[in-house]
Amino acid sequence: MHDPDPPADPDDKTAWRRLGLARRQALSRAEQLARRRGWRSHGVDAVTSSGAAVVSLYLSRGQEPDTLGLAAELERRGVAVLAPVLTDGRGHGVHEVSWGRYRHDRLREGLWGIPEPSGVAMAASELASADVIICSALWADRAGYRVGIGGGWYDRALLHRRPDAPVWAMVDTCEVVAALPRDPWDVAVDAALTPCGLVPLGPKGSVE
């Protein structure tokens, strides 16, 4: 697929979300599989190069960049994986940011069908144990700002990270664009993890 044109109003986050979701839904099965292999391979390489012992990683669903294979491979290699917990275990959503320890054989279906760890939920402050944080996004820009599905969950969660822990947004290569609309509470990321590799953003790099 070619690089997407921006929406008619480039300052409209909702328009960016619609565009991003439509683009992902248009991917063929072959395109999805190729990207999945790239994310897994480069994700493992990037985490290994970082020396991280603990990684925070969202668990994907539907057309999102696939993280389930990456999570399983990191677990196999002995890396501890923290994943978001969005329910109380009885199907009711929780507003507070919570984390669970990922284990491939201990997952349940959470809010909106999102997989989540079925073990004991941990407080938002547990994110401070993560050496690398990989978050969801529909888009990321050169300055490191991202547009997600809305709701601000990760913006709230990232307030608890360690200052030295890099944050990577998992997006497709052409979902890294020149500029996105941003709000005062948006938290910038350090890089985009794409199927072609890790792309530094913000002061640490730029995208041509």
Residue 4 domain-assigned?
no
Residue numbers belonging to the annotated binding site = 13-17, 59, 64, 146-154
Q: Total structural domains in the chain?
A: 1
Q: Which pLDDT does position 119 carry in this prediction?
A: 85
The distance of Cα 207 from the centroid of its chain, to the nearest Å, equals 19
Residue 24 domain-assigned?
no
Q: How far apart are CA 188 and CA 185, in angstroms?
A: 10
Residue numbers belonging to the annotated binding site for ATP = 13-17, 146-154
Residue 18 domain-assigned?
no
Residue 82 domain-assigned?
yes
> Taking the model in full, what pTM does it have?
0.92
Residue numbers belonging to the annotated binding site for substrate = 59, 64
Residue 50 domain-assigned?
yes
- pLDDT tens for residues 131-160? 999 999 999 999 999 999 877 899 899 999
In the predicted model, residues of the chain with pLDDT beneath 70 are 1-3, 204-208
Domain boundaries, position 197: 29-181+191-202
- pLDDT tens for residues 65-82? 999 999 999 999 999 999
Q: How far apart are CA 73 and CA 41, in angstroms?
A: 10
CATH code of the domain covering residue 171: 3.40.50.10420
3-class secondary structure, 142:
coil
Q: Which pLDDT does position 52 carry in this prediction?
A: 98
